[in-house]
Amino acid sequence: MNKVLLLNSDCEPLHITSWKRAVVLLIKGKAEYIEKLEDVENYIKIDEYYIPKTIKLTYDVAVPNLELPFSRENIFVRDEHTCQYCGRKFPSSELTLDHVYPKSRLGPDIWENIATCCKECNQKKADRTPKEAGMKLIKRPSRPDDYLLFEISNSKENREYWEKFYKKAS
């Protein structure tokens, strides 16, 4: 457990933070528990704090408009670790990034031009467009439009719990 959902004072989701940052906010009195993990493993012996699962600020802040960083791992997560040509799932170590419009033809490094691809399909497609290679994309690549929803859906252990806060705010 290393991630904590941070809520505004009105329970609107702000972002996901580290458990260490969350405990600091609790110690300083800037936040309060919504739910904590009450077991021996998650106990911190600083003024008897438990690692939180969700915390709420005691004051209101402006909701930030965060943009998801463009990164290799975020693209794998967006595409659910699935080759966008053959549809098979792979671990990150067996995946590559494919430029839908080839980089050799000045295809840009942007969300809309990069797709997750297995090594076999990437070699088959080579330096061509999917149409030229006789291949079809399962899903057209796009920029994730909601940073917080992307982060929540990426969390395996807290996804269902955190989604209820997100849905209330929507």
Ordered domains of the chain (ranges, CATH): 3-66+146-169 (no CATH), 72-133 (1.10.30.50)
pLDDT in tens, 25-44: 998 999 998 876 655 455 55
Q: What is the pLDDT of residue 25?
A: 92
> In terms of pLDDT, which residue wins out, 12 or 115?
115
Angle at 117 between CA 111 and CA 122, to 5 degrees: 115
Cα separations (Å) of 122 from 83, 94, 116, 117, 138?
9, 11, 9, 6, 14
Q: What is the pLDDT of residue 20?
A: 87
What lies within 8 Å, CB to CB, of 102 at 6+ separation is 127, 128, 129
108 pLDDT above the threshold of 90: yes
Q: What is the pLDDT of residue 34?
A: 83
State the first-to-last Cα distance of the chain, in angstroms, to the nearest integer. 26
What lies within 8 Å, CB to CB, of 80 at 6+ separation is 89
115 pLDDT above the threshold of 80: yes
